[in-house]
Amino acid sequence: MRSLFQRHAVLLDGALSLVLILASLAYSFLAFDYNAPPFEDAAMLMRYASHLARGDGIVWNVGEAPVDGATDFLFMVSVAALAKLGIGVGRSVRLLTLASHLLTILLVYWVNRRLWGAGHLPAAWNALYLAAGPGFAYVIAYFGTPFFALAIALTWTLGLILTLRRSAPLWLELAFAFTALLSGLIRPEGVILATLIWLAVLILRGWKDSGRLSFIFLIVFLVFGGAYFLWRWQYFGHPLPNPFYKKGGGVLHWEAMFSSLRNTLRFIAPFLPAFVLGFRSPQHTRRTLAFLLPVVGFSLAFVLISDEMNYRARFQYALLPLVLLSWYPLVQGLEFGWRRPLSFREKVSAALAGLLIAAAGWTYSAAQNCFLTYHRNCFGSYADGRAEIGKMLAAFRDKGYVLATSEAGLVPYYSDWTTIDTWGLNDPWIARQGEITEAYLDRYRPHVIMFHAYFSPLVPPKPEEKERRGSWGRMTILLKEYAETHGYILAAVYGENPFDTHYYYVRPDFEDSALIVRQIRNLRYVWPVSGTRAFNYARVTEK
């Protein structure tokens, strides 16, 4: 009888897993636009993957020295490998991220069911909470965030199994160490989070029972991780990804840390009562503190870099599946309900209350797509005029033209032009210098200059613009002055309003100059934040 019951439970788990996947996909197709272009920052990694797949190496500009501007290193390599097989860069990104997100949803369900013994409904609720959140938004935007989240979820799952098995087999400890290493290879901060997970496992197992595990973990990181570190230092000429030199700046970023804590709190708010209840006894307190260590520690670690490019809190997102894998055992054993048999009315009331709680959780999770982004659209992404500019410029890709831009995503990716990233995320010289200079621009004599400004011909920059907006303001003023003093043609200043615009300057003295100016001016330019057609404020300067 027990064996029959277990078989039925497994069949029900399989059926619910299928329902979870189908429901998640249906939700994604209804709520998101799979035809949307990549988000601006995600396109930078796609440019690197495209070059690597073509055999040009990990370079920003073909023929130049290698640059590690693609912070998601192992994800970028995986995309390039699939693209090499003929799948295409965009489809490779979508395939990896969609599969990763769906696998993480299943992992959350099965760990709660099989490791913690949760009921079908609590386990399914956990999985649906994850499905409703920003995971699909990252897929649509072409970010590798779900790929990293899956690696962290696997690392944490293996760590949890190790805490429940004092005499774990060697293969399990090796799997934990190598999965942790892979997390660090996907994103550099994965090293921090994987180390915090390892420390949490040590706290739960005890130091005496973790000698071999610690030895294996350290050897794997020192030998294999060290070999990778030395290779990348030799290959790129610097030990850390280039954006870290630009975004770190050698100072502590307190605002980024507070933003990180706020983002984490938004993700895990419904589960905070479980962690509070975890302090109800000494036995549960140790587990609660261990579970909180990677969550709090990783959130605080973002004091080291600025919060740039943190689209929909993607830097903190990996903590969400980690919490979903952890909270249930903290309340396990608590009794909620009546000790006497329930009446029909009580059963119906309890069922309706449970449905309301589940619906509230789903709604709250989906709402993070609004709270964690500046887009007015809470779910999908809009078309983007920068993508159309890039596709238009792609017709001239073989003519050796150079683009200088503060927007190093869509235009460089689609155009495949040699590009100066004027902000420095993909330019080691600018990242270390701090800011671009006129002399550096003279090295390339760019044919097109494009930048994102907070002024326009209707609202010219004031003298204090350089200081008010810091290094970004100084960069945009320098690009504007360089273009004007070198005789560039102002092709367009697109914007939804005159206080937030995209400038396009074209050098007048090359073969396709007039054609490019005309095509830029005639483009139907969609503003990415609102999805509305932008106005060309350069027209106000025409006589």
Which of 345, 371, 397 is the C-terminal boundary of a domain? 371
pLDDT at 346: 66
Q: 501 and 530: one domain? A: yes
In a domain, 195, yes or no: yes
The residue ranking higher by pLDDT, 531 or 389, is 389
Q: 305 and 392: one domain? A: no
Q: Is 453 helix (H, G, I), strand (E, B) or coil?
A: strand
What's the mean per-residue pLDDT of the chain? 90
pTM: 0.93
Q: How far is CA 34 from the centre of its chain?
A: 17
In a domain, 205, yes or no: yes
Q: 194 and 303: one domain? A: yes
In a domain, 437, yes or no: yes
In a domain, 379, yes or no: no
**pLDDT tens-digit readout, 284-302:** 899 999 999 999 999 999 9
pLDDT at 297: 97
In a domain, 35, yes or no: yes
Write the CB contacts of 109 (distance below 8 Å, at least 6 apart in sequence). Answer: 13, 16, 17, 20, 123, 124, 126, 127
pLDDT at 180: 97
Q: 366 and 218: one domain? A: yes
Number of domains making up the chain: 2
Q: Pull the structure tokens for residue 34.
A: 């799979």
**pLDDT tens-digit readout, 58-104:** 999 999 999 998 889 999 999 999 999 999 999 999 999 999 999 99
Q: 222 and 287: one domain? A: yes
Which of 341, 371, 401 is the C-terminal boundary of a domain? 371
Q: What is the distance between the alpha carbons of residues 68 and 232, in angstroms, rounded to a whole number?
A: 9
Write the CB contacts of 151 (distance below 8 Å, at least 6 apart in sequence). Answer: 179, 182, 183, 186, 190
Query: Domain range spanning residue 211?
Result: 2-371
pLDDT at 464: 66
Q: 69 and 33: one domain? A: yes
**pLDDT tens-digit readout, 145-179:** 999 999 999 999 999 999 998 788 999 999 999 99
Q: 445 and 341: one domain? A: no
In a domain, 380, yes or no: no
pLDDT at 373: 59
Which of 347, 371, 395 is the C-terminal boundary of a domain? 371
**pLDDT tens-digit readout, 131-144:** 999 999 999 999 99
pLDDT for residue 378 is more than 70: no
Q: What is the distance between the alpha carbons of residues 96 and 44, in angstroms, rounded to a whole number?
A: 17
Q: 326 and 389: one domain? A: no
Q: 399 and 364: one domain? A: no
Q: 177 and 260: one domain? A: yes
**pLDDT tens-digit readout, 329-343:** 998 877 555 566 767
Q: 359 and 480: one domain? A: no
Write the CB contacts of 99 (distance below 8 Å, at least 6 apart in sequence). Answer: none
Q: 268 and 330: one domain? A: yes
> Stretch 21-46: mean pLDDT, rounded?
92
In a domain, 407, yes or no: yes
pLDDT at 380: 57
pLDDT at 337: 55
pLDDT band at 242 (very low <50, low <70, confident <90, very high): confident
In a domain, 377, yes or no: no
